[in-house]
Chains A and B, each alone.
Chain A
Amino acid sequence: MAAGGAKRSKSWFGHGLPYVPMGALPGHLIVIEGTDGVGRSTQIERLSPWLELEGWAVSNTGWTRSPLLSETINEAKAGHELTTTTMSLLYAADFADRMEHQIIPALKAGFIVIADRYMYTVFARNAVMGMDAAWTRQLFGMALVPDLVLYLEIDVERLIPRVLEGKGMDYWESGMHLALGDDIFDSFTRYQTQLIGEYNRLARQHRFVSVDARKSVDDIQGELRAHIASHLQRSREAAARGRSATDRVARARRG
């Protein structure tokens, strides 16, 4: 289903969770994707207060933030000893924990859930690692398809100064585990080029809404808000159409 289009009901990405009845999920699941250092968290920090002023309750969720697994994942990353398969399974466990304990309950209660990264992050990383793409997708078959995926798109040349001005190049985000070379700058450039390529491919496949992340923080925020507002508007209209159709049927029955 188009991530950009208005949908009235949610769907599972694959087999779903057979023991969780989907029921009504009136909330909205909005995902912010993009490579590391592109400015996702800065943008997300400013989205919540805006949405709250607009009258929406907001729940934020982020990659590896589940109470069940965050410590295990941090330890595992510090140890540098896991294969891509094991790491993918850990990410999936963290993801499932947040889905079942946070995302689905919030959507049920009518919240807007803003997810900092989603399963697409694993899709992109695993593709660079040369993993079987079908397996990664099947693994996340228990995920809900988001209502809207906003993709912060950038090129590696403009990403580099941003990362260096921020927290610097770290081991994992530079793809040092790929052993592309001993120089962290060269490794970062090569790894991020491949990763961005995969993100762009996913953006087309899964109909992300791209936002040009080369712009200023304010401009990006403006665009993100415009996309979110128009998504919310479209689903309000769709819901109203649904209601009036139901009313017509009811009237016809009565008449």
Chain B
Amino acid sequence: MRKLRGVLQRSHPYPGRLIAVEGIDGSGKSTQLLLLERWLIAQGYRVHFTEWNSSLLVRRSMKRGKKKDLLTPTTFSLLHAVDFADRLTYQIVPPLKAGMIVLADRYVYTAFARDVARGVHPEWVREVYGFAPRPDLTFYFRVPIEVSLQRLLTGRTKLKYHEAGMDVGLATDPVDSYRLFQSRVLDNYDKVTGEFGLRVIDATADIPTQQKTVRREVERMLQQYDGPRTEKQIDGRRRREAQ
């Protein structure tokens, strides 16, 4: 695919730092992000967490659309873009401007992998998200389908309709559909990884091993970072600056 000029190529101008995690359901990315958050807070950093598809704005439309199976690949994609734009305005940019560390559970790469697997045009969805700032660091937790499936099915008995890609109509059995749909998503993630330079983590490794790699990478990325930490440290810096 040809590289789109400008889309997610420029780094953001804010004093804060943006870290995103990506991966299919059951890859363990949310667990890893939680452990990273605990560690950053313990180090005294000011952190803000935000999650894909979590704004109240589109909740009703999304619910209605999912329940009645009204969503098409395009409206599914656009509703997620509305959610993202709203969170960017209220939850991502202000903390970045305030110099905080923003942790994003899924970012626009989810749309590039998932919505394209549903059938939207790969260039179109990249253009739609043309307003998104590039994260300072994005981890991609790569995991084989069978491992993710096992993890999901031990936690609960049924796969969710859209998670299994049942709306795409690849198979009538949810588990078969999950395999077919998520392997398309994985293929797209591989393309995205090369295109945008995502940092790949082997998500089949044990949890502490993965977390160790994540923290090492984050530490390196934060070397040039001079954002606010605790109130005490901010006060200390103010005093130093005043002198």
Contacts and interface: CB of A to CB of B under 8 A. Distances in A.
Contact of A100 (B74, B81, B123, B127): B74
A17 interface: yes
Contacts of B2: none
B127 A93 contact: no
Interface residues of A, number: 30
A155 B72 CA distance: 40
A97 B78 CA distance: 10
Interface string A77-100: 000001101100110110011001
B85 A96 contact: no
Given A18-B121, A135-B131, A89 B64 contact: no
Contacts of A16: 121
A95 to B, nearest CB: 9
A69 B62 CA distance: 9
B57 interface: yes
Interface in A6-31: 14-19
Contact of B64 (A18, A68, A86): A68
A69 B89 contact: no
B70 A89 contact: no
B85 A85 contact: yes
B73 A19 contact: yes
B155 to A, nearest CB: 31
A129 to B, nearest CB: 13
B89 A72 contact: no
Nearest to B64: A68
Interface of A: 14-19, 67-69, 71-72, 76, 82-83, 85-86, 89-90, 92-93, 96-97, 100-101, 132, 135, 138-139, 141-142
Contacts of A17: 73-74, 119-121
B152 interface: no
Given A14-B124, A72-B57, A132-B130, 18 more contacts: A17-B120, A68-B61, A68-B65, A68-B71, A71-B60, A72-B61, A76-B57, A86-B57, A86-B89, A90-B82, A93-B78, A93-B81, A93-B82, A100-B72, A100-B75, A101-B70, A135-B130, A139-B128
B86 interface: yes
Contacts of B58: 72
Contacts of A138: 124, 127-128, 130
A97 B121 contact: no
A109 B230 CA distance: 65
Contacts of A71: 60-61
Contact of A18 (B57, B70, B119): B119
A142 B128 CA distance: 11
A71 B121 CA distance: 28
Contacts of A86: 57, 82, 85-86, 89
Nearest to A66: B75
Contacts of B118: 19
A85 B57 CA distance: 14
B124 A96 contact: no
A142 B124 contact: yes
A69 B76 CA distance: 12
22 contacts: A18-B119, A19-B73, A19-B118, A68-B61, A68-B70, A72-B57, A72-B58, A85-B85, A85-B89, A86-B85, A89-B82, A89-B128, A90-B82, A92-B78, A93-B82, A96-B72, A96-B75, A97-B70, A132-B130, A138-B130, A139-B128, A141-B124
B170 interface: no
A101 B64 CA distance: 15
The 3 closest A-B pairs by CB, nearest first: A19-B119, A93-B78, A138-B127
Given A68-B64, A93-B82, A141 B74 contact: no
A15 B119 CA distance: 12
B81 A89 contact: yes
B79 interface: yes
A15 B78 contact: no
